[in-house]
Structure 1
Amino acid sequence: MTVNRLLITAVVVEKRPVREVALQYGVSKSWLYELLQRHRTEGDAVFEPRSRRPESSPTAIPAEVADLIIELREKLTSTGLDAGPDTIGWHLAHHHDVTVSRATISRYLTKAGLVAPEPKKRPKSSYIRFQAAMPNECWQSDFTHYRLTRPDGRPGADSETLSWLDDHSRYALHVTAHVRVTGPIVLTTFRKAVAEHGIPTSTLTDNGMVFTTRLSGGKRGAGTRNGFEHELRRLGVVQKNSRPNHPTTCGKVERFQQTMKKWLRGQPDQPTTVAELQTLLDRFVDEYNNRRPHRSLEHRATPATAYTSRPKATPGGRDDDAHDRVRRDIVDKSGKITLRYNAQMYSIGIGRTHARTRVIVLVQDLDIRIIDAATGELIRELTLDPSQRYQGTGRPPGPTR
């Protein structure tokens, strides 16, 4: 039994005084008199809780605007484009001259049942966000898979799409479809992007073998460079690579590929060949660069606007791109220490008189200095000859200590 029913029963049925009932149940006499008046006019409806909805909402958006929000949501979703509150708000402001807050759009989408609840994600505040200050300051690149469709609608062969993206503006510089992405393809597409947009200051990719071989293991891996790396060095472009299992470092191009694949899956005619996929990619790049508002850019600008409105960065050179190392070692009984360079092990002669001596080895590319760790005395200074596995002292063998 509800409190309202108890109060009405006590006064109307039991004929108890209003003052006594109000005191017993801890309510005011004025409110109880109001409840009795409502019971006389409304009857048993007084026992049900009343709606808290106001009689009018002066700030509510017109019904036609609410319908337009739903229409934009369905239109953008059907074409594979982003259809969140920010994007809908941008289209309302730029194409319909209507300003609606993000919260209002989100509320109407939820009311219409168009928002799918998602599990809690890692908070955005926990990520360290970075962005290049100028266009061409950093280019991100990656490739992803997209399965072709057979003419009868069944899944077909796999294909790979290689993307070059400007870090500052999110401008899609070059996007191409291939049967399989290889090192020569990476080099060719990079040269085409450079010919069209200029030379970047740096590149950022993962550690895939098509992008770098200097970080891989094996006899032919560490310390070597592939054609793409040689091209970057020739142009003075700084090469950056993310750590393994850290895809957020290349998050911009990863997010671009997610948007691209969502758009591709939304197309009614799925590609059956790599050539058809390339045609769709060209359409997507034009839409993405020139007409789609980007949430990460100031004022929801398009990538083309952000890329063309600022001066471009240029390479700063790699004259100081030296490989510096500091090693601590002990001279063995035959008067030598070992040093690894370009995945090869080299022996460096010190002299048997220094056997069992603790040394500090200072390495800068091929220049090596060996210092006595206890006294600070310079024991030997040399330039490593990569063609000789043993770097002798040039002196005849001396007596042991």
Structure 2
Amino acid sequence: MSKSRVIVLSAVRQGLSIAEAARRFGVTWRWVHELVRRYEAGGLDALEPRPRRPRTNPNQVEAVLRERIIELRTTLTEAGWDAGPATIAAHLERDGTPAPAISTIRRILLDAQLITREPNKRPRAAMIRFEAHQPNELWQSDFTHWRLADGTDIEILNWLDDHSRLLLACTAHRPVTGAAVIESFTATIATHGTPAATLTDNGRVFTTRITGTRNGFEQLIASLGIQQRNGRPFHPQTQGKIERFHQTLKRWLAAQPAADDLTALQDQLDRFRHHYNHHRPHRALGRRTPQTAYDATIKATPADNRDQRDWRIRHDRVDRFGKLSLRRAGRMHHLGIGIDHAGTPVMILTDDTTVTVTDRATGEVLATHTVDPARTYWRNNDRSPGRWPGLLPDMNDDAEHL
């Protein structure tokens, strides 16, 4: 028999007063009085311990909202998008539904066995984070690998704005070459403006500074007054944002049907880029989309305020004599590249004052030429001048390329 029943029976049936029962059993007289009141109202069964859980909980999430949270988790996961509690909360708010606390959403997902508990992570205070203050202050770039349905390896080149995480460009190549980097970059600045700086790893398509020379991309951004930054070798954390972005991209691609060719893969990348920029809330941006964050702030420009050049790009192949032909302002000009580069596929970058010829495969600068409308032959400024044996110094310049 429980202690509560003994106290009540002693007071009711044995005639003990409430004060006496309290002294005998070492409880307060108020508690004895409460037990007697319960007994008179409901008998001995009313003396059993009552559950402390409240009958109603005003903070309990409604069943309809719980189902919506579980539905969002399932739908986003199947589509290959992030589906954590913070992302689900952002989607609820976008739909006009007041979102519960992040911890509540996490508890609902745990109860539904849709996520598992994770060990405690490092506190954010232990991480040193860097973020550009303005859009176009810093663009990160890198490429990653993906395979077509037949197993063909494809390289995907990306440009990411450091401040807003806007995916500026996302293109598929087989493989990424120096020419592809230049083409992608010039197309991107034509749409989004010129960045103040770029950040890449030390891949040869981005830099050849280790060998003491400049490739075509380095020469292009230097001419535009853009600061070039490169991470330390074997230290991908420097480009952490784009490395993390590649995980998001590959998770989404893995949820799609495998592309049969380069065109089909590019179509998938275009769809991904639109959704990523305009619809996917980004946790690091306070659940805003990258496009919203990019449009919210004035854009940075290169610190070097030199005149911006209008670049033209053309692909060609060095002829068997080591030369190229270039038409400018209705007149044909001939460019000396070097007989040792005969047959090399090249990219020709032309502005108002300079012509730069780079190897399409490696990005190496093969020749630079000064634009001179009065002369037919433009020699390679990177090579020592010379002439064919027997030519006199006072012969006209047209004889230079005979």
For the aligned residues, what is the CA RMSD? 3.1
* Amino acid aligned to 2:292: T
- How far apart in 1 are the matches of 2:35 and 2:201? 71
2:294 pairs, out of 296, 303, 307, with 307
**C-alpha displacement of 1:238:** 0.4
- How far apart in 2 are the matches of 1:207 and 1:312? 27
Instruction: Give the equivalent residue in structure 2 for 1:143.
Output: 143
**C-alpha displacement of 1:101:** 2.4
1:179 pairs, out of 151, 165, 174, with 174
Q: Note closer, same or farther for the CA distance 1:7–1:132 as it changes in structure 2 (3 Å cut).
A: same
Is 1:292 equivalent to 2:287 in the alignment? no
- How far apart in 1 are the matches of 2:44 and 2:259? 69
Q: Note closer, same or farther for the CA distance 1:316–1:52 as it changes in structure 2 (3 Å cut).
A: same
Q: Secondary structure of 1:232's match?
A: helix
Conservation of the 8 A alpha-carbon contact between 2:7 and 2:32: no
Instruction: Give the equivalent residue in structure 1 for 2:75.
Output: 75
Q: Secondary structure of 1:278's match?
A: helix
**C-alpha displacement of 1:32:** 7.4
Is 1:280 equivalent to 2:268 in the alignment? yes
Q: Deviations over 1:59-97 (max 9, x none)?
A: 223221121111111111111112122221122122133
Instruction: Give the equivalent residue in structure 2 for 1:231.
Output: 220
**C-alpha displacement of 1:289:** 0.7
Q: Note closer, same or farther for the CA distance 1:9–1:61 as it changes in structure 2 (3 Å cut).
A: closer
Q: Note closer, same or farther for the CA distance 1:240–1:22 as it changes in structure 2 (3 Å cut).
A: farther
Q: Note closer, same or farther for the CA distance 1:50–1:111 as it changes in structure 2 (3 Å cut).
A: farther
- How far apart in 2 are the matches of 1:33 and 1:272? 82
**C-alpha displacement of 1:129:** 1.6
Instruction: Give the equivalent residue in structure 2 for 1:244.
Output: 233
Conservation of the 8 A alpha-carbon contact between 1:164 and 1:172: yes
Q: Deviations over 1:16-38 (max 9, x none)?
A: 99657744xxx657557867968
Instruction: Give the equivalent residue in structure 2 for 1:204.
Output: 199
Q: Note closer, same or farther for the CA distance 1:170–1:18 as it changes in structure 2 (3 Å cut).
A: same
Q: Deviations over 1:30-67 (max 9, x none)?
A: 55786796896449x95xx8654211111223221121
Conservation of the 8 A alpha-carbon contact between 1:22 and 1:29: no
| Structure 1 gaps, min length 5 | 151-155, 320-386, 388-401
TM-score normalised by L of structure 1: 0.65
- How far apart in 2 are the matches of 1:255 and 1:292? 15
- How far apart in 1 are the matches of 2:203 and 2:123? 29
- How far apart in 2 are the matches of 1:233 and 1:211? 13
Q: Secondary structure of 1:149's match?
A: coil
Q: Deviations over 1:315-350 (max 9, x none)?
A: 11299xxxxxxxxxxxxxxxxxxxxxxxxxxxxxxx
Conservation of the 8 A alpha-carbon contact between 2:195 and 2:302: yes
- How far apart in 1 are the matches of 2:143 and 2:35? 70
Identity %: 47
1:166 pairs, out of 161, 164, 187, with 161
Q: Note closer, same or farther for the CA distance 1:240–1:10 as it changes in structure 2 (3 Å cut).
A: same
Instruction: Give the equivalent residue in structure 2 for 1:123.
Output: 123
**C-alpha displacement of 1:205:** 1.3
Instruction: Give the equivalent residue in structure 2 for 1:398.
Output: none
- How far apart in 2 are the matches of 1:35 and 1:278? 77
Q: Secondary structure of 2:284's match?
A: coil
Conservation of the 8 A alpha-carbon contact between 1:69 and 1:105: yes
Q: Secondary structure of 1:240's match?
A: strand
* Amino acid aligned to 1:242: G
Q: Note closer, same or farther for the CA distance 1:76–1:31 as it changes in structure 2 (3 Å cut).
A: farther
Q: Secondary structure of 1:115's match?
A: coil
Conservation of the 8 A alpha-carbon contact between 1:143 and 1:161: yes
* Amino acid aligned to 1:271: A
Instruction: Give the equivalent residue in structure 2 for 1:134.
Output: 134
Q: Note closer, same or farther for the CA distance 1:31–1:109 as it changes in structure 2 (3 Å cut).
A: farther
Q: Note closer, same or farther for the CA distance 1:157–1:32 as it changes in structure 2 (3 Å cut).
A: farther
Instruction: Give the equivalent residue in structure 2 for 1:66.
Output: 66
**C-alpha displacement of 1:142:** 1.2
Conservation of the 8 A alpha-carbon contact between 2:5 and 2:44: no
- How far apart in 1 are the matches of 2:262 and 2:82? 25
- How far apart in 2 are the matches of 1:61 and 1:121? 28
Conservation of the 8 A alpha-carbon contact between 1:186 and 1:228: yes
Instruction: Give the equivalent residue in structure 1 for 2:188.
Output: 193
Conservation of the 8 A alpha-carbon contact between 2:160 and 2:166: yes
- How far apart in 2 are the matches of 1:229 and 1:42? 87
